[in-house]
Structure 1
Amino acid sequence: MSAFSRSRRTLAAVAGAAALALALTACGSSSMNMDSHSGTMDSHSPSAMPSMPSMPSMSTMPGMGSATSDGLADAQDGYRLSGLPDTLPAGQGAALRFSITAPDGRPLTDFAVEQTQRLHFYAIRSDLTGFQHLHPTLAGDGSGGWTAQLAAPEAGTWRFYASFTPDSGPGKGRAYVLSRTATVPGPQSEVPLPAPAGSATTPDGYTVTATVPGGRLMAGMAHELTVTVSKDGQPVTDLQPYLETYAHLTAFHAGDQAFAHLHPETTATGERGGPTLTFHAELAEPGDWRLFLQFQTAGQLHTAALTLNAAG
């Protein structure tokens, strides 16, 4: 049984006891909707589905390492994302250099390792296309400088996110996500967000299907999201370890680009995993979210993109 399930049973018991106490006192007085746009499918499924029992907010669960904000600010608790450019040339890769400034005004150099990395860096365009998940390198000279190799971006407005956990100082052990935007000049063509649907197929033929118990995700509540990977109608069982698990899942909110990392419950225990993976899913805002699932087979990294709707 996962920690997620044990926690849910414990909370259910506490809630039941509380309800009984209230009843005695009273007697004495008086869809999930998902889509497929990794470029291959665009279908729609109904959202009027029953709700499911929910978990408490991840921020109340010890040891979960959840981020403390939606990732839309460049500073929090005295930590600041600095050095990223305001503009970038279209059609050209770039070495993005930046640093995290600590509350004492000095560059932060002490980072905890989270899923094999000391810092995760993400880039996405305002229409939630062009997703990139990068692992920057930290300068070895003690300057606290990071370098991320960005693939050539298309014209438009981009947001860059730095996800990290200080390993010393006032924010030690607390996960942060900071971000800044940059403009890539040139003619821009907005890509409409695909409608929610239950599955998506990658360009190389992998199909990803996502479900939650009860079939509906509620904003601000935690759920257990199950993802199944198949190919040509057959379950995929050769998923390789990637970042300490068999898949990595990130979400961005349509409109404001709020960030959410859906923490894996399935850890990598061998060289072959799948086809079913579970994640702790908590999306703070109602509306559509764009999910990017990354997994690896035969040394190749695949990315599946889905749109999920969180009900208010």
Structure 2
Amino acid sequence: MNASPSITPLSVGQLAALSNALGPVVDSAGSSRFLGQLFDCVKQFVDCDSLHLQRARVTPRDTRARRIEWIGSYAPDHENLQRTMEKYFGSFADRDPLNDRVSDAPHGELIHRSAQTIEDTELRCLIYDVANIHDECVVVRPSNGIAYSLSVCRARRLPAFSLYELSVLKHLGQVLLPLAELHTRMVGVPLDDNVNKIAPADVLQAYLTRRSILLSSRETSVCSAFVKGMTTVSIAQAMGVKESTVETYAKRAFAKLGVSSRRELLSLVHGHEATTAA
């Protein structure tokens, strides 16, 4: 008779801590609360000051074919973070060697980078120094030809990540990155094959976070689809619901946002985008 496989026992307290940390992240997938819940979850295991999600096509070391997209970021000072990330994706994402490693990762990988080791002085000064970031840990997980990455950063108030903390983040990322992929699919943002860009969903996310507006996952999906220019018919087909159901979600979301039409939504969100980028 074969022996039972070896199982590492976990205490009830450990299981409770894990479920309490991950539960809100799972529940918020597809909604405007996701990034904040993700940040809170990570901080329960490893202290940090900001986190970032992005994805990129996995390419055979061909930077011309590399396409990077910012899914979103979170920090207590979200407005300044938003401006910094817009600057990064506008001027530095293409030339940052870290993104070569992310795009080329054939399997899950952990990358640890100190700001002091960044040879690009402009990148270091205008992105890392401005945000007061000195240490960064990036966990990468390829999925169906796309590399999803979670970057966790520390400001100078905290020491560099220890080997134990890096190990925790590596294992935690293998759970959180599939949730990030699920969140992105629920929001409904396809990866653009032509340009590096800030995802339209994040423009909406920035506005919702700034105004502390909470939409349901379905309301967020509909509004995000509107921001991308999708029609009510195409949204209904993508969500597998009736057009009237999409209109109901839109009506509820518009009431929370204080708008009465899709045009007003676009004006509201893109007006905020122009303000934060200025």
TM over 0.5: no
More helix by share: 2
For this structure pair, what is the TM-score category when the shorter chain's length is used for normalisation?
Answer: under 0.3
By percentage of residues, which structure has more strand?
1
Structure with max Cα Rg:
1
